[in-house]
């Protein structure tokens, strides 16, 4: 029986691969692409940087909140950001995609469209994949990068006196999630928040934009440590502090960027204490995919980077959750344990988990 909407279960795997073939035709980094047992990718540096990350429907996204293009864009962004955070240029990716049999074929096409669009922003090529049936949509992307002869930028290079800097969106993904949870009609101006601000927050959650250019510039800006902010600033700064054996003193988040737009969103979801809500979003909200890097105190920050704190000696008793990571980070000199440490997929106790 023909259905009006073509479903994945109506086709066999090779027919679906034919449809997505046009997203899989890179030549710069790809020596052998899709169609054999494996792809062959160029690695002129003699090393390859590799990272994998998964998105699961109901846990990381909901189809009623995010389009297929958004999910593809977001899956690509979070993976590409991990490569850039190592100081490498993304070259190629492979994609394992599981979908229910009744998923429209168009969903798969749009997913690949979003994925290939974000890849195009950094010149990365999709070189292969796997498509299988699954009870919910699940995406696992593995991405590769080229260090171009430079050493990787690890989390462990921070020294006391260094400047902690941020680039990209901060708190906006959490704000968008809060708006979606809050519900209501967000198409017009929300009370106290102009439509442009509401849309910026929703877009940050659905299809976050990572500042790849600024991330790549950190290598030449002499960054000593860097990471992708995926689990919230507090937790991710804590990871640099732990790996480097230092402490970090962060400035008040409300001074990092103009807080007014986020305050307007916060007023929609919590009229009582928007400043508290904004600090929470900026410190513990996940999925923004900005970068945090540590620079020597005597170099000018590259374009697009904002100083948000200073590397200090470690506290005397760095214990507690995350190997003491949280307790290594203070905001305006105050311990931050009570603010929550960021987003965890399993404990889900804070942040933007879409579970």
Q: Which residues are annotated as a binding site?
A: 37, 51-53, 60, 82, 112, 129-130, 155, 228, 230-231, 287, 343
- Among 275, 321, 330, 335, the residue binding a copy of itself under the rule CB under 8 A is 321
Q: Which one, 157 or 247, has the nearer CB to a copy of itself?
A: 157
Q: Chain centroid to CA 238: how far?
A: 17
Q: Please give the annotated binding residues for ATP, written as ranges.
A: 112, 129-130, 155, 230
Handedness of CA 308, 162, 244, 142 (dihedral sign): positive
Site for a copy of itself in 1-40 (CB under 8 A): 8-9, 11-14, 16, 31-32, 35-40
Note whether 146 and 91 are within 8 A (CB). Answer: yes
DSSP 103: S
**Cα distance between residue 179 and residue 174, in whole Å:** 9
Which window, 110-118, 150-158, 165-173, 332-340, contacts a copy of itself (CB under 8 A)? 150-158
- Among 128, 171, 261, 285, the residue binding a copy of itself under the rule CB under 8 A is 128
Whole-number minimum distance, CB 69 to a copy of itself, in Å? 21
Tokens matching residue 225: 């440590």
The full DSSP string for 131-149 is: EEE-SS-EEEEEEEEE-TT
Note whether 137 and 289 are within 8 A (CB). Answer: no
Site for a copy of itself in 72-101 (CB under 8 A): 81-83, 85-86, 88, 92, 94-98, 101
Site for a copy of itself in 47-76 (CB under 8 A): 47-54, 56, 58-60
**Cα distance between residue 189 and residue 182, in whole Å:** 15
What x/- string results for residues 226 through 265 when contact with a copy of itself is judged by CB under 8 A?
A: xxx--------------x----------------------
Nearest Cα to Cα of residue 306 among 282, 341, 286:
282
Stated as kind and residue range, the H or E segment containing 126 is: strand 125-133
Total site size for a copy of itself, rule CB under 8 A: 78
Q: Cα–Cα–Cα angle for 100, 103, 106, nearest 5°?
A: 145
What x/- string results for residues 187 through 226 when contact with a copy of itself is judged by CB under 8 A?
A: ---------------------------------------x
Q: Would you count residue 138 as binding a copy of itself (CB under 8 A)?
A: yes
Is residue 27 helix, strand or coil? coil
């Amino acid at each position: 029986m023909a259905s009006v909407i073509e479903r994945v279960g109506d086709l066999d795997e090779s027919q679906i691969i034919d449809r997505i073939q046009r997203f899989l035709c890179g030549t710069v980094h790809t020596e052998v692409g899709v169609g054999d047992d494996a792809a062959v990718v160029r690695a002129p540096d003699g090393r390859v940087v590799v990272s994998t990350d998964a998105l699961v429907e109901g846990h990381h996204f909901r189809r009623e909140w995010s389009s297929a293009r958004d999910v593809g864009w977001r899956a690509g962004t979070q993976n590409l950001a991990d490569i850039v955070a190592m100081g490498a240029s993304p070259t190629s990716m492979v994609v394992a995609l599981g979908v229910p049999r009744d998923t429209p074929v168009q969903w798969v096409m749009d997913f690949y469209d979003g994925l290939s669009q974000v890849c195009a922003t950094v010149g990365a090529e999709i070189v292969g994949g796997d498509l299988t049936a699954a009870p919910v949509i699940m995406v696992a992307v593995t991405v590769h990068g080229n260090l171009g002869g430079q050493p990787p930028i690890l989390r462990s290079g921070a020294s006391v006196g260094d400047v902690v800097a941020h680039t990209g969106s901060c708190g906006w993904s959490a704000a968008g999630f809060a708006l979606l949870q809050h519900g209501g009609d967000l198409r017009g101006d929300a009370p106290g928040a102009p439509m442009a601000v509401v849309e910026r927050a929703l877009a940050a959650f659905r299809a976050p934009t990572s500042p790849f250019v600024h991330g790549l510039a950190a290598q030449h800006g002499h960054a000593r440590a860097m990471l992708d902010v995926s689990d919230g600033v507090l937790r991710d700064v804590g990871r640099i502090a732990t790996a480097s054996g230092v402490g970090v003193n962060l400035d008040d988040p409300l001074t990092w960027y103009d807080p007014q737009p986020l305050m307007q969103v916060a007023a929609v979801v919590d009229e009582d204490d928007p400043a508290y809500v904004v600090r929470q979003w900026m410190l513990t909200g996940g999925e923004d995919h900005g970068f945090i890097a540590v620079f020597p105190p005597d170099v000018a920050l590259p374009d697009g980077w904002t100083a948000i704190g200073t590397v200090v000696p470690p506290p005397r008793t760095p214990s507690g959750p995350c190997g003491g990571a949280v307790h290594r980070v203070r905001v305006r000199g105050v311990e931050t344990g009570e603010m929550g440490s960021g987003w965890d997929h399993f404990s889900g106790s804070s942040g933007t988990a879409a579970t």
